[in-house]
Structure formats: structure tokens, C-alpha cells
Amino acid sequence: MRIHHHKAHVFPDGFLWGTATSAHQVEGDNIYNDWYYAETHNKLKVKSGHACKHYEMYEKDFDLIKAMNNNAHRLSIEWSRLEPEEGRWNEEEIEHYRKVFQALHKRDIKIMLTLHHFTVPLWFAMKGGFEKTRNVKYFIRFVKKVAEEYGDMIDFWITINEPGVYIYQGWEVAEWPPFKKNKFTAGRVYLNLALAHRLAYKAIYKIVARKFDRLPEVGIAQNMLSFATYRKHGLIDQLAVWFSSKTANHGFYMLTGKNTHDFIGINYYFRIRLKRKKGTLKIEHDDVSSQEREVSDMGWEIYPHGLFDVLMDIRDYEKPVYITENGIATRNDDKRQRFLISHLNEIYYALKGGCDVKGYFHWSLLDNFEWHQGCKQKFGLVEVNFKTYQRKVKKSGIIYGDIAGKNKIEHKYFKLLGHHVKL
């Protein structure tokens, strides 16, 4: 890739620069949810344990965010802490999160709060979780409680993180709780999540407007994939791209309706190459590592331009857009630096192309518990020593802080991409 621009890429005033985390991945000692149960009942090979001890160390972590000149942060609230048993609210935990949000306010950091980030209380899972439409009411009761308690403190609400990934991992490949392979149930969970989102949207509006006289901003974090095919001339191949993008990227929006989203939240990680065996209708995901392309430690193709593609694709929604997650698992920080700069560049180009991107949340602040892969995958801008819990900002974190503070990518950073660099 050759970059010949000599001017900085300046972002719009008020652009939000942040990082994203989720409770179970960083807090540690979350013992009342379905993941903990799976971790301690031989259903998973890994344990979250103390994770990053963020539950105790959040002030310190927020200082790091501040030092990185961030003006926003995305985090999730753990339902199973607030309601460890059905119908019993834990007042201490309610106070804990109030302190967490205050700690962010004190540092002038806007809050994007996720209500469902993959984990659910064990009691809820035991009742069938989101498999049962009648259980949606429990989630809504929790959402109402959160809105009542903190409605004046939250700037952006994410009702559900990646509904598609949740059903894929839990009910299709069955790597995550509840470890069931059943496409039909997966579909039902998806529909129930759509219902949960619609009801949560209304509930948050009602409470925040009535009690706090303020208009909330509510959306979801949607995993968006950039789909491609080798055969530009093949109608079936092109149809497969269309169908995949329509269902995986736009399906949840179609089910919930655009008027239940005040903004579009996008998690972008990689591109998928669809491959059709000649003479058959069978479409599969191609493994591009066989082409010796550079992939992340997760095996995901590094493809910055895909972020531009998905941003331009949702431009027609005519809503503000936030990149709610984007990042790379790698032990090679040079690679992370290139990933960061090249993806931020694509956001800049999408802005120029008319997409109303308002903010970027890098996944993740800390090296953390990467679900069934445990702590071996390193997504953090900040390194965590899992023995001492010491934090160390990586060079990528320093660069991110510099870009956030100046609200621009200076020319010197383009050089990191180099000439003819394989990204």
C-alpha cells in the first residue's frame, strides 16, 4: 500500500475517542452468570477468574483512559451482579456501578453503556434465557432498573451487543453457553433479542425522559462483516455476498426497524471471502491464511478497507454512526499500530465520503478474557500482567492517545504503514 498524502487527517470537532470493554471480560469474579457456571462445570477449558481485576482497579484504568486523551468509554453493566437471584437487587452492586460512572464523569469521559454483552444471570439462563419469549420481561425489568438508577449519567445506551454473534456462538457452533446446536432455537433467540431491543428502547426513553427530563440515545452494537467473492462475474457468488450482507449485517435492523435506533453502532473486525466450489451451489468461507495473507492471532484477515465498505454501506441509514468496536488480537504491537492507523484512515475516508461517523471505540482497553479462548488473545492497548495485575500502556496506546488528543492522524503516522507493507 502506498500512501502519498502529506497532510494530516483531521477529524470533526467533538469526535469521540474511546475504548471498549465488557464486564465479564475485565471485571473478574463474576460468579452469578452463565459463563461462570460453564467455567466451573467443565463446559469450558478456560476460567475468567479475576480477569483484569477491573472491578477493583477501575479508577486506575480510567486514569489510563484519561492519559490517552480519550473523551468517551464503552463498558457493560453485569446484570448478574445487580440481580444475582431472581427479583433481588443487590444494593452494594448498584452503588458500585454508580461510583464507576461517577469516576468517568469526574474525568470528563462520556459513557456508552452496554446492557447485554453475552452473559446473563444463571437464574435467567436456567429458565431458558432468551430462548423463551416470556423471559424477555426479566431483561426489561433489569433495563428499567438501570434506567431508573443511572438514567441521568449515561450518554449512550447499547441494548444488545452483537445479537448475531451471540446466537452463532451459543446455538450454531455451540462454543459458548448454552452450547446447543440448534438452528431453529438460534432463530427464536434472535427474534426474542429483537423484541427485547424494541421494548428496551421504549422503556429507556420513557424513564429517562420522565424522570430525568432528558432524551437518551439508544442503539445496538452490530457486528459488521465485509463480504467479498472471487468471482465478480458469477451471479450466484454475487447473490451470496448480497444475502450474507443482508442477513448478517442488516438483519437485526430489519427486524427492529430503523426508528428504534438513534445511532448505528458498528463492530468491525475482518473480511470474509465467500468461495463457491465450481459446479456446485455450496458456498464456504475461504481460509485466506493459505494465501499467506496477514491475519490476526484469531486467524482473521486484516482488511482495513472493509471498514470503509461497511461504513459506506450503512450511510443510507442517515443516522449518526459510532464504531463501537474495532481492534486486533496480536502479540506484535507493531502490527497493532499499523492496524490502528490503517483503520482510522478508512474512517477518515468514509467521513469524506459522507458517512456521519461520530466516534471510535477501540477494542480493547486491556488485554482481557477473550471468551472461550481465555486470556491468551491480546487485544489491549494496555498490557495486563495476569499475575501482578500491573498495567503497561503499549506503544499503540501511546499513539492512540496522541491521535485522540490532537483529533487528527499526523503525517508521521502514515509512515508506520510504510511502503509495500503487507497489512
Please give the residue ranges that form the binding site for ligand BGC (CB under 6 A): 22, 25, 161-162, 165, 223, 267, 325, 363, 370
Q: Do you find a cis peptide bond into 12, omega within 30 degrees of 0?
A: no
Compute the least distance from the CB of residue 161 to ligand BGC, in Å: 5
Residue number with CB closer to ligand BGC (22 or 229): 22
Compute the least distance from the CB of residue 296 to ligand BGC, in Å: 10
Angle between helices 91-106 and 136-150 (to 10 degrees): 50
Is residue 271 within a helix (H) or strand (E), and if so which, with residue range?
A: strand 264-276
Compute the least distance from the CB of residue 5 to ligand BGC, in Å: 30
Strands (DSSP E) contained in 178-242 are 218-229
Query: What are the angstrom distances between the C-alpha of 218 and each of 158, 199, 258, 263?
Result: 6, 12, 12, 7
Compute the least distance from the CB of residue 374 to ligand BGC, in Å: 12
Residue number with CB closer to ligand BGC (161 or 185): 161
Residue number with CB closer to ligand BGC (58 or 269): 269
Compute the least distance from the CB of residue 24 to ligand BGC, in Å: 9
d(CA 340, CA 362): 8
Residue number with CB closer to ligand BGC (11 or 227): 227
Residue number with CB closer to ligand BGC (122 or 266): 266
Beta-sheet pairing, 218-229 with 16-20:
unpaired
d(CA 269, CA 103): 30
Compute the least distance from the CB of residue 420 to ligand BGC, in Å: 29
Residue number with CB closer to ligand BGC (375 or 417): 375
Strands (DSSP E) contained in 71-174 are 72-76, 110-116, 156-161
Query: What are the angstrom distances between the C-alpha of 361 and each of 18, 110, 127, 261, 273?
Result: 4, 12, 34, 18, 26
